[in-house]
Amino acid sequence: MKPAGHTRASRSFFPARSLSILILFLTVPILSLCGQLRTDEVKTYISLLDRGQTDEVRRALPDLVTRYPNTAGLLFLQGRLASDGTEAVKFYQGIVDNFPRSEYADNALYRIYQYYSALGLYRTAEKKMAQLKRDYPGSSFVTGKAPALLPAREEAAISLPQKERAMSETLATTAPESRAPESPKPYTLQVGAFSTMANAEKQKLFFEERGYGSEITDKVRAGRSLHLVWVGNFRNAEEAARQGKEIKAKYKIDSIVVEKY
């Protein structure tokens, strides 16, 4: 016959253990639900950005940064809202480096590839494309079934890194005013680089409606096609740079002085 004390201890032990198991089973779904809600909220703002509601998303960003710091979705959103391409690439690279298995990683890496292609840094761009094919072979950006990557106004936000911008400005300021350009190829302003023709057409139309001559030219790099939007024809780099500053002041759109080929 077992001692009465042992029986009472057993009776008290099993309910306690059952309670612990119950708490565990309740906690896991709650934590999962919280994570899902967090992901869904960030996705909601990304969708708003896709629909062109940039101002609304910008107003919400400080609160999102406080509540969801250092998450892949937030970094992607910050990259989309970045004021220029150089800043955006830092956010996208953060996703690739720290959240390589997130749903945004292949998209972020493709945007980095686009940025370097638009700047003419083709070796770097090709390395990024090779990484995309190696790490994300099933990505729509590799298989060729990629959706439109960016809205026209946002995707056009590409600017030179500081070092290259300084070189461009030096070229413009040192060109003799009275000297005709030696090259038969005129200068132009690149105001966007797009993965889809539809977005390139929208950007082209944006400038044409405001009285600027605009055209689209294609480049194929690492098996991917980019549609570049060019604005204006200029005798020299200095003239193009002046027009670029005017466009930046009026429309907050960065541009690159390039020589037509």
The pLDDT tens digits of the residues spanning 39-49 come to 678 899 988 88
More confidently predicted of 100 and 152 = 100
pLDDT over 70 at 28, yes or no: no
For residues 106 and 128, give the distance between their C-alpha atoms in angstroms, rounded to a whole number. 11
Token representation of residue 168: 């461009």
Confidence of residue 102 (pLDDT cuts 50, 70, 90): very high
Which pLDDT value is given to residue 23? Answer: 55
CB 238, CB 187: distance < 8 Å: no
Indicate whether this model's pTM tops 0.75.
no
pLDDT for 134: 95
- For the chain, the average pLDDT equals 74
131 vs 69 pLDDT, higher one: 131
Which tens digits make up the pLDDT trace of 141-164?
Answer: 887 654 434 433 444 334 444 444
Average pLDDT over residues 15-21: 56
Domains 60-143 and 152-259 share a fold: no
Q: CA-CA distance, 41 to 30, in Å (whole number)? A: 16
CA distance 119 to 254: 12
The 3-state DSSP class for residue 27 equals helix
Q: Which CATH architecture has domain 152-259?
A: 2-Layer Sandwich (3.30)
Q: What phi and psi values does residue 125 have, to the nearest 5 degrees?
A: -60, -45
Q: Between 38 and 180, whose confidence is greater?
A: 38
Q: Is the pLDDT of residue 172 over 80?
A: no
Domain parsing of the chain, residue ranges: 60-143, 152-259
Q: How confident is the model at residue 72 (pLDDT cuts 50, 70, 90)?
A: very high
pLDDT of the residue at 151: 39
CATH of domain 60-143: 1.25.40.10
Q: Is 136's pLDDT higher than 70?
A: yes
% of the chain surpassing 70 pLDDT: 66
Cα–Cα distance list, 28 to 23, 25, 104, 222 (Å): 9, 6, 25, 45
